[in-house]
Structure 1
Amino acid sequence: MQFDYREFHIDASPLDEGGRYYARAKIYRRASAGIDAIEVKYSGDLGDYPSDADAIDAAQRWAIQWCDNTPA
């Protein structure tokens, strides 16, 4: 799942491995016109979950907390 939050673009797409879903997120500074977005943080695995919805929720919470604690 991808979404924008504050000045960031977040990709909270889980990894599906054998019926378990690993939460992870990539955070980018949103791009200006004509400039590509720049990745600023990658979470790595944030734990495994029984469903993709649970993994997405965990990754979103982590990413939003990281954005809220990062100066603009």
Structure 2
Amino acid sequence: MQFDYRQFHIDASPLDEGGRYYARAKIYRRASVDGDKFEVKYSGDLGDYPSDADAIEAAERWSIQWCDANRA
């Protein structure tokens, strides 16, 4: 799932591995008005979950907390 939050663009797409879903996120900062993006942070695995919805929710929660703590 991709969404924008503050000056960031977040990709909270889980990894499906053998029936378990691993929460992970990539956070991009918008570099300019024309929408260019560059990667700021990659979460790594944030835990495994029984469903993709649970993994997405965990990745979104982590991403928003990271963005709030690292906003310019």
Query: Which range, TM-score by smaller chain?
Result: over 0.9
1:46 paired with 2:46, answer yes
Cα distance in 1 for partners of 2:16, 2:57 equals: 15
Give unpaired runs (5+ residues) of structure 1. none
Cα distance in 2 for partners of 1:52, 1:31 equals: 30
Cα distance in 1 for partners of 2:8, 2:40 equals: 9
1:19 corresponds in structure 2 to 19
Q: Which amino acid aligns with 2:2?
A: Q
Q: Alpha-carbon deviation of 1:31?
A: 4.2
Cα distance in 1 for partners of 2:71, 2:11 equals: 20
Q: Name the count of aligned residue pairs.
A: 71
TM-score (norm 2): 0.93
Q: Which of structure 1's runs of 4+ aligned residues deviate more than 2 A?
A: none
TM-score (norm 1): 0.93
Cα distance in 2 for partners of 1:24, 1:9 equals: 14
Give unpaired runs (5+ residues) of structure 2. none
Q: Which amino acid aligns with 1:27?
A: I
Cα distance in 1 for partners of 2:31, 2:3 equals: 13
Alpha-carbon RMSD across the aligned residues, in angstroms, is 1.1
1:61 corresponds in structure 2 to 61
